[in-house]
Amino acid sequence: MCKGFQPNEKDRLKIKGFYLHLSFSSPTETVSPDSLTLHYLPRISESPLEINESKIRSNSPGFVTLHRVVSAEKVTTKGVIYGSRDRVKASEGVKFEIFMADVKLIKGIFMKDLENWRIDCKCALENDDLKVKGAEVCVAVEGRTAAEVITEKVEMTLRKRRTRRRSCFQKLEEIPEQREVENDESTCCCSECEGEEDDSNGS
């Protein structure tokens, strides 16, 4: 790599701890696993990423295990904490996702405003099976003089699924066969046709 394109260390977020606090609306119905998976996504922008001093290729994902800090027997509505002390060096724009088994809980991205780092997180749940009421992401980083903590509270509201609008052609397919004209032409709902019909039958 050209020397002029070497990543600047001061532009790297040096993570010394990553923690997630989850609270539940109904803990008695919730099974708290021993660990979660922190998944760092491949970087199209080729932003540098290191995990425990190992460089992760930009087209490859990175994985960190978040271990449960509180035992399953002590899980209450106040929640459970998962964490990792793996050393990670991330750049601005690096995205991550947090999974409980194969269920995606949270998605986020590391961002920088001038000299201040922050994280932007959103709920990724598609149903309420896990009874997750709230979440807070805490990232312990190396500061200039002492360790700093970046926190982000996540509103765990379910994502709304987008409904696709049916196209003109899909609507035409639903017209009963007995309504079709002999020359296989029918009224179109496209704005370009303006609903005109073929007049070849002399009607």
Residue count of the chain, please give it.
203
Whether the full predicted model's pTM is greater than 0.75, yes or no, is no
**Which of the four pLDDT bands, split at 50, 70 and 90, describes residue 1?**
very low
CB 66 within 8 A of CB 137: no
Q: Which of 85-89, 130-134, 171-175, 185-189 has the highest mean pLDDT?
A: 85-89
Q: Residue written as tokens 């598609």?
A: 126
Residues 10-21: tens digit of each pLDDT: 789 999 999 999
Lowest-confidence segment of 58-72, 99-113, 178-192 by average pLDDT: 178-192
Residues 98-140: tens digit of each pLDDT: 999 999 999 999 999 888 899 999 999 998 888 898 999 999 9
CB 138 within 8 A of CB 150: yes
Q: Which amino acid is at 19?
A: Y
pLDDT at 9 over 80: no
Q: Which amino acid is at 191?
A: S
Q: What is the DSSP string of 74-115?
A: G-BTTBEEEEE---EEEETT-EEEEEETTEEEEEEEEEEETT
What are the structural domain ranges in the chain?
Answer: 3-155, 164-196
Q: Which pLDDT does position 18 carry in this prediction?
A: 97
Q: Which pLDDT does position 27 carry in this prediction?
A: 62
